[in-house]
C-alpha cells in the first residue's frame, strides 16, 4: 500500500496516522523529538532535525506524498521534500500562514475583513502604529506564536516601550482590538481537483489563550455563516490549497447584523475540528488524507449537537471518570508529562439533535 509522510509528531500527526491506517495507508512520521505521540501509532519514523537534508531526502523517497501537522515547518524543509514528492498543502500556503503580516495582508487583498493591523519592527514604529490604531490593541510576533504565546495586550496608557520589551524585539504586528461577540472557525477541505467541502462553523471558547471548548451548532445568522464559509473558500482557492484548512474568525455584532473578520489561518487539521471524529460523517483527519491523496472528499454532515473539550495539563488525570460518563468519547494522546498548558487529550460528547 501507499505511505504518507507527515512532518511533525504531535497529537495532530497521531490522529492523522490513525485515520490513514483506517484507509489502508501507512504513515511515516518525521520529527526531532523521539517521545512524540505520533510515533506510537506510525509504521515508520525518522527522528531528525528539520534542517537535516540527508534525512529529509531519505524520508521523502520512502513515501508517496508528504504533508505536515504544524505550520512552522521551515521553508527550506518544505523545499527539500517537495523536490522529490508532492507536498500538500503547498509551499505558498505554508509561507502565508507562518507569518501573521503576510496572512493578514493576503486576506485583505482578497477583500476579506480582518482586525486593522500595522507591521511593527521597532519601538518607534509601535508608538506610531498605536497612535493610528489606538488602544486596546494586541501586539503579536509575526512568527511562531501559538496558544496565545508571543503576544501582549496593550491597554490604554501603556507605554510602547513596555509592550515592545515583552516581545524581545522580534518582528511584530499590531492589531486593533476586535470587540467580538464570539469566536468561530471554519474547518474545510479542498481536493486536488478543486472540490471544496466545509464543516459547519465551530463555536470556540478559549481559556488562558488556549482552546477550551468547541460547540456545534454555532447558531450563527445565515448571512454570517455564509460569509464565513465564503471567506474560507476564497482563501483556499487563492492558495491553490490541497488538504484540510482551518480559518479562525471573530464574529462581530449579533443577530442579522453580525459579520465576520478573519483572525488566522491554520494550513492543517485543527483542534476545533476534533469533534468531527465522532460528530461528522467524515473526520477532518480522514478528509485530509483523502484530499492529499487525490481521493474524493467525504461528507461533512454533522451527526448531532457537539461539545468537544480539551484536557489541558492535569485535567487528563480525570480520564477514568470521563470514561465512566455515557456518551463521552475520550482521546488520550499518550504524552508522558502533563505540563501546565499542554494539550494532553480531548473529550467529545455528541447529543441527539433536539435534546
**Nearest approach, Cβ of residue 154 and ligand ATP (Å):** 11
Q: Is 145 in the site for ligand ATP (CB under 6 A)?
A: yes
CA distances 34 to 9, 123, 230, Å, are 9, 40, 40
Q: Which of residues 108-127 bind ligand ATP (CB under 6 A)?
A: 115
Q: Is 134 in the site for ligand ATP (CB under 6 A)?
A: no
| Pairwise CA distance, residues 114 & 171, whole Å | 19
Is residue 236 within 8 A of residue 112, CB to CB? The reply is no
Prior bond of 217 cis (ω within 30°): yes
**Nearest approach, Cβ of residue 131 and Mg ion (Å):** 27
SS3 267: coil
Segment near ligand ATP (CB under 6 A); pick from 10-18, 84-92, 146-154, 166-174: 146-154
Cell of 65: 506524498
**Binding-site member from 138, 188, 277, 316 for ligand ATP (CB under 6 A):** 138
Q: Is 73 in the site for ligand ATP (CB under 6 A)?
A: no
Q: Write the DSSP assignment of 118-154 as a string of letters.
A: EEE-SHHHHHHHHHHH-SSEEEEESSS--TTTTEEEE
| Pairwise CA distance, residues 200 & 225, whole Å | 8
Q: Is 175 in the site for ligand ATP (CB under 6 A)?
A: yes
Which residue's CB is nearer to Mg ion, number 131 or number 146? 146
SS3 182: strand
Q: Is 146 in the site for ligand ATP (CB under 6 A)?
A: yes
Q: Is 147 in the site for ligand ATP (CB under 6 A)?
A: yes
**C-alpha 198 chain-centroid distance:** 15
Segment near ligand ATP (CB under 6 A); pick from 139-147, 193-201, 302-310, 334-342: 139-147
**C-alpha 273 chain-centroid distance:** 9
Residues near ligand ATP, by CB under 6 A? 115, 138, 145-149, 175, 177-178, 183, 206, 209, 248, 263-264
Residues near Mg ion, by CB under 5 A? 146, 248, 264
Amino acid at each position: 500500500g501507499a505511505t504518507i509522510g507527515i512532518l511533525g509528531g504531535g497529537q495532530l500527526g497521531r490522529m492523522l496516522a490513525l485515520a490513514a491506517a483506517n484507509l489502508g495507508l501507512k504513515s511515516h512520521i518525521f520529527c526531532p523529538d523521539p517521545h512524540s505521540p505520533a510515533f506510537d501509532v506510525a509504521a515508520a519514523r525518522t527522528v531528525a532535525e528539520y534542517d537535516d537534508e540527508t534525512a529529509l531526502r531519505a524520508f521523502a523517497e520512502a513515501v508517496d506524498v508528504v504533508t505536515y501537522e504544524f505550520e512552522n515547518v521551515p521553508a527550506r524543509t518544505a523545499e527539500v521534500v517537495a523536490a522529490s514528492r508532492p507536498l500538500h498543502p503547498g509551499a505558498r500556503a505554508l509561507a502565508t500562514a507562518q507569518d501573521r503580516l503576510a496572512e493578514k495582508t493576503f486576506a485583505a487583498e482578497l477583500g476579506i475583513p480582518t482586525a486593522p493591523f500595522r507591521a511593527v519592527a521597532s519601538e518607534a514604529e509601535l508608538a506610531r502604529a498605536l497612535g493610528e490604531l489606538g488602544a486596546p490593541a494586541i501586539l503579536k510576533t509575526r512568527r511562531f506564536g501559538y496558544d496565545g504565546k508571543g503576544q501582549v495586550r496593550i491597554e490604554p496608557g501603556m507605554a510602547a516601550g513596555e509592550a515592545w520589551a515583552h516581545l524581545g524585539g522580534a518582528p511584530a504586528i499590531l492589531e486593533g482590538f476586535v470587540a467580538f461577540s464570539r469566536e468561530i472557525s471554519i474547518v474545510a477541505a479542498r481536493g486536488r481537483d478543486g472540490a471544496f467541502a466545509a464543516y459547519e462553523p465551530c463555536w470556540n471558547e478559549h481559556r488562558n489563550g488556549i482552546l477550551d471548548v468547541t460547540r456545534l451548532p454555532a447558531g450563527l445568522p445565515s448571512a454570517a455563516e455564509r460569509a464565513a464559509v465564503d471567506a474560507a473558500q476564497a482563501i483556499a482557492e487563492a492558495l491553490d490549497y490541497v488538504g484540510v484548512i482551518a480559518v479562525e474568525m471573530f464574529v462581530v455584532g449579533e443577530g442579522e447584523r453580525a459579520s465576520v473578520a478573519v483572525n488566522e489561518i491554520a494550513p492543517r487539521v485543527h483542534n476545533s475540528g476534533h469533534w468531527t471524529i465522532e460528530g461528522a460523517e467524515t473526520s477532518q483527519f480522514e478528509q485530509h488524507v483523502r484530499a492529499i491523496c487525490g481521493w474524493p472528499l467525504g461528507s461533512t454532515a454533522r451527526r448531532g449537537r457537539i461539545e468537544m473539550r480539551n484536557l489541558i495539563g492535569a485535567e487528563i488525570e480525570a480520564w477514568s471518570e470521563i470514561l465512566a460518563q455515557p456518551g463521552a468519547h475520550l482521546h488520550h494522546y499518550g504524552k508522558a508529562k502533563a505540563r501546565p498548558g499542554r494539550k494532553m487529550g480531548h473529550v467529545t460528547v455528541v447529543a441527539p439533535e433536539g435534546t
